[in-house]
Chains A and B, each alone.
Chain A
Amino acid sequence: MDAIAGKSGARAAQEARRRPLVERHSVLTRVTHWAGTLAFVVLVMSGLQIFNAAPYLDASDKSDPHHRVLAISGVTDAAGRPAGVTQILGLRLTTTGWLGYTDDGQGGRSERAFPGWITFPGYQDLAGGRRWHLFFAWVMVLAGGAYLLGGALNRDLSLLVLRPADVPKLLPMQLYYLRLRREPPPYGKYNPLQKAAYTLVLFVFAPLIVASGLALSPGVDAFAGPLTALFGGRQFARLWHFVFMLALLGFLGVHLLLVASTGAFNNMRSMITGRYRPGKHEGQGP
């Protein structure tokens, strides 16, 4: 937090060193954090591999071009060269090299939606992508489940969940981050914006991405039909699954930015060894 506060220089560093290291993250938190990270990366990459087999998303139950929200395709341009086209909600973009006609994961280019460097595996292999996806889906659910269960038992989770009392502190905290306010509102182990982000991820987006994934399964649909209906049908669930993935990727981007900008070494140490040197504003409130 010191970097954000803007109090740079030797004095701030000296002050920080005087604060003792504390045990911030339990073994369970650290292990499940990294297992979940690995699983998330493989799930996104193998998910894009699976997407490539039908590179379009429809807001409907069965496939229906009239309800197409996103389509990525390879075409031949006016000059007769292969090109990539991405259509989002009626918007048509040329995305040659990135989407539609791009890296084939084997050193060349081919007609495919997402490039080989971001799919798992790199080359087009739906069967392989499904195996990775379905395996790491279990890893993610087990890691997430263990974290939530453990966190509920040792009350770690209660420090992280956004409570009604935190809501009025959200705006002041954001203003502080934007350097429009000198001091943050008082907070405990996590600041109100962290609580909001983690609560959204753990209790909204994580359950939704699991549920929308399960809704795609014809076997699950057979005994949990209302689940698929909740998302607007099977193809719509596929669209939601993609949207939730984007939301979680957005969280990851912000998360990485803040890890790096609020003391990268201290933050990484806390998630590896558990030990953490608190910032001067931390632990001053609930």
Chain B
Amino acid sequence: MKRRLFLAAGAAALAGCAKVTNGLNDSAGVHAVLDAVERLDYAAIGTRGRAKLYRAADVDRDFRTNGFDTPSDSLYDGLVKDGFARYELAVSGEVEHPQAFTLRELRALASLTQITRHDCVEGWSAIGQWGGVPLGAFLRLVRPTPKARYVVFRCFDRSPDGDPYYESLDLGQAAHPQTLLALDLNGKPLDPDHGAPVRLRVPTQLGYKSAKWVRRIELAAELGGLYGGNGGYWEDQGYEWYAGI
């Protein structure tokens, strides 16, 4: 009897522990303070340096997939059916030359192949060889206006709740020489599960910044007006916009 009472008291104390931490985590005021260090982290780390380059032998042949299910709506399925021949990557917003690029045009611009590590926010890492168009060079073709500060990527995939995936980088991150509009993984065109036909690769930040299934690109002066206002799908769920740490 005493033992049972003791166990019950212990369980209550432990449940109380979770109540306290849950309550603190649910407070918007507390998060306003916690989340302020994101700026400090970005200022301290920034976009300096280059992600480590690996050898071909390091590559994961069966590169891990994660995130939302591969899009399966009629629009995306239709594009898959004819090998993305009708896919166009439209660039709009704060640009002097709004344009749309076919996959063939993008392939003509592809100039970079790099073997880098993909670090997921969950904690795991995988290595892949990515080929495609350096985003900085790509943006020079469409010429961002002086008002442009962010590059927004709108994607084909949706969350289980139907919310569209989107991501954003600032112009400094976009201009990093390793930031890539990837078309190939491990020497082959991206397959649908890995983000075909175009995905982003940002090897200096966590994996959720490397949006798959990129549908459109917009240059923007602000991020506040988009969806949850935090610059990306996962950012709207509470993750950091600056994902270098």
Question: B-contacting residues of A (Cβ < 8 Å)?
Answer: 45, 50-51, 53-54, 61-63, 103, 105-107, 115-123, 125-128, 130-132, 134-135, 138, 216-225, 228, 234-235, 238
Contact = CB atoms under 8 A, between A and B. Distances in A.
Interface in B48-94: 48-52, 58, 60, 64
A235 B240 CA distance: 21
Interface of B: 14-15, 17-19, 21-22, 24-26, 31, 33-35, 37-38, 40-41, 45-52, 58, 60, 64, 117, 119-127, 203-206, 234, 237-240, 244-245
Contacts of A222: 48-52, 203-204, 244
A218 B245 CA distance: 6
Contacts of B48: 222-223
A54 B124 contact: yes
A106 B35 CA distance: 24
Given A138-B37, A218-B244, A119 B21 contact: yes
Given A61-B117, A121-B22, A134-B37, A127 B46 contact: no
A131 B24 contact: no
Contacts of B203: 218, 222
Nearest to B124: A63
A103 B45 contact: no
A45 B21 CA distance: 10
- Residue from A50, A126, A221 having most chain B Cβ neighbours under 10 A: A221
A132 B17 CA distance: 16
A37 to B, nearest CB: 16
Given A125-B238, A222-B48, 16 more contacts: A53-B121, A117-B17, A121-B24, A122-B17, A127-B237, A130-B239, A131-B34, A131-B238, A132-B25, A217-B45, A218-B244, A218-B245, A219-B205, A220-B244, A225-B49, A225-B52
A128 B205 contact: no
A54 B18 contact: no
Given A105-B22, A123-B22, A54 B122 contact: yes
A63 B25 contact: no
Contacts of A138: 37, 40
Nearest to A104: B18
Contacts of B15: 103, 107, 117
Counting chain A CB atoms within 10 Å of each CB, which of B17, B40, B49 scores highest? B17
Given A126-B121, A131-B34, A217 B244 contact: yes
Nearest to A219: B244
A116 B119 contact: no
A39 to B, nearest CB: 13
A281 B144 CA distance: 74
24 contacts: A45-B21, A61-B117, A62-B126, A103-B14, A106-B18, A106-B22, A117-B17, A119-B21, A122-B18, A122-B21, A128-B25, A130-B240, A132-B25, A134-B34, A134-B240, A217-B45, A218-B244, A220-B45, A222-B48, A222-B50, A222-B204, A234-B119, A234-B125, A235-B125
B123 A53 contact: yes
A29 to B, nearest CB: 25
B18 A117 contact: yes
B52 A221 contact: yes
